[in-house]
Amino acid sequence: MSYCINPKCPDRQQPDSRTVCAACGMALLIQGRYRLLRPLREVDEWGPTDIFAVDDRGTRKVLKLLKQPKLLPLFEREATTLQQLCHPGIPHVDLDGYFTVTTPKGKELHGLVMENIQGQTLENWLAEHGTADSTLAQDWLRQITEILGLVHQNQLFHRDIKLSNIMRRPDGQLALIDFGTVRQMTGTYLAKIGGKRDVTSVVSPGYTPIEQINGKAVPQSDFYALGRSFVYVLTGQHPIDLEEDASTGQISWRHLAPHVPPWFADLIDDLMAPFPGQRPLNAEEILQRLERGLSGWRQRLSPQGVMRLLLAANLCLLLLNLAVGWHWLQRRQSPAASPISTLPGLRSHLTTARPRVHDLSLSHC
């Protein structure tokens, strides 16, 4: 079956044999190449966008269809961003992947066709497999940080990092999706937040930092959401469900993940610091801290590290034995150590009256 692209069509499911919708007269082969197959999420009449699986001359892709013209600037920004960024962790969009079509009643529809990333979101992965161990979480953090590094290098920031926007491919590689809220770090934007003028804010409860809620998002706002995401990965608890310190905004999570090495927990806490200036400056700093932490951990677990630990333990045992031996010797040489010395009268009597017994007792000792 084919699916009509017209949101107002009374009968959107059409036979594959048709090239024009029998219900509304809309072309079913869009731009001469894209045929809609089915919705990838429930079609919402009031939602700003719909998502469809499409066939592009034999290749399965994803179509994002904009239905609300007021969001066109954000939609065009997403298209431009995905066209200019080239990374296996970012959905690929062809240069002609953005298009506009008009319905029979004259309504403009804007579409964006992108790579269909196979796999599942980390949110779905977590629901299926439970919490990730530290090793897997560290690998995931490295992958997403590398992707964010590319985004930030292009003077962009995502503004909606969360587990439902991170895909895990079947080979274990991660991809960051939904660039619909991406923002460019331009002079105009900086002037707006500096002058306290209105800037559209994007809020995902539990993930969004206070400066972004106030319309003053910066690249470090992505790091805050990234830290919150990995608390979710390591604890299985949504950040919004965790206790929060009312004075600092910090969430209490370490007791739920005692398996996490302290250096890694410290890094995650720094990502979630209340103020942007307290967070890592850039993606490179995060990657460096990951590498230092992993190198130190590997060194402690390497054969050389284990040998050093064994040598240190043996040295401690030797020192303990020496201390115990010295203490025993001191007590042995002390006059108070002899039972006879505690009875001076008896010792004198034995010495004068029964020298043989006294000599025998000494030789026995």
Q: Is residue 185 part of a domain?
A: yes
Q: Is residue 310 part of a domain?
A: no
Q: What is the length of the chain?
A: 365
CA 117 distance to own-chain centroid: 19
Q: Is residue 26 part of a domain?
A: yes
Which residues pair with residue 156 across a beta bridge? 184
Last residue in a domain, options 304, 324, 343: 304
Residues 137 and 284 in one domain: yes
Residues 129 and 83 in one domain: no
Residues 32 and 124 in one domain: no
Q: Is residue 160 part of a domain?
A: yes
Place of tokens 């203490």: 327
Residues 108 and 205 in one domain: no
pLDDT tens by residue, the chain, 365 residues: 899 999 999 999 999 999 999 999 999 999 999 999 999 999 988 889 999 999 999 999 999 999 889 999 999 999 999 999 999 999 999 999 999 999 999 999 999 999 999 999 999 999 999 999 999 999 999 999 999 999 999 999 999 999 999 999 999 999 999 999 898 875 444 444 444 544 556 789 999 999 999 888 999 999 999 999 999 999 999 999 999 888 877 899 999 999 999 999 999 999 999 999 999 999 999 999 999 998 875 555 456 555 666 677 778 788 888 877 777 777 777 655 444 444 444 444 444 444 444 443 433 33
Domain that holds residue 87: 2-115
Assess contact for 286 and 280: CB atoms under 8 A. Answer: yes
Q: Is residue 83 part of a domain?
A: yes
State the CATH number of the domain containing residue 284. 1.10.510.10
Residues 88 and 143 in one domain: no
Residues 102 and 125 in one domain: no
Active site residue 266: no
Residues 188 and 95 in one domain: no
Place of tokens 């400056």: 281
Dihedral, 110, 10, 26, 62 alpha carbons, nearest 10: 40
Contacts of 197 (CB under 8 A, 6+ apart): 191
Q: Is residue 216 part of a domain?
A: yes
Residues 74 and 139 in one domain: no
Residues 226 and 260 in one domain: yes
Q: Is residue 330 part of a domain?
A: no
Q: How many other CB atoms are there within 10 angstroms of residue 36's CB atom? A: 23
Of 50, 160, 178, 222, the catalytic one is: 160
Distances, alpha carbon 136 to alpha carbons 99, 210, 236, 243, in Å: 39, 29, 14, 25
CA distance 189 to 192: 5
13: its two tokens:
């499911």
Assess contact for 290 and 138: CB atoms under 8 A. Answer: yes
Residues 110 and 129 in one domain: no
CA distance 330 to 326: 6
Q: Is residue 84 part of a domain?
A: yes
Last residue in a domain, options 115, 137, 159: 115
Residues 144 and 288 in one domain: yes
Burial class (CB in 10 A: 0-12, 13-18, 19+), 1: exposed
Last residue in a domain, options 115, 133, 151: 115
CA distance 176 to 163: 9
> Which conformational region is residue 31 in: left (phi greater than 0), alpha (psi within -120 to 50 degrees), or beta?
left
State the CATH number of the domain containing residue 9. 3.30.200.20
In 3D, which of 141, 97, 96 has the Cα closest to residue 122?
Answer: 141
Consecutive H or E run containing 113: strand 108-115
Residues 84 and 192 in one domain: no
CA 160 distance to own-chain centroid: 13
How many domains are there within the chain?
A: 2
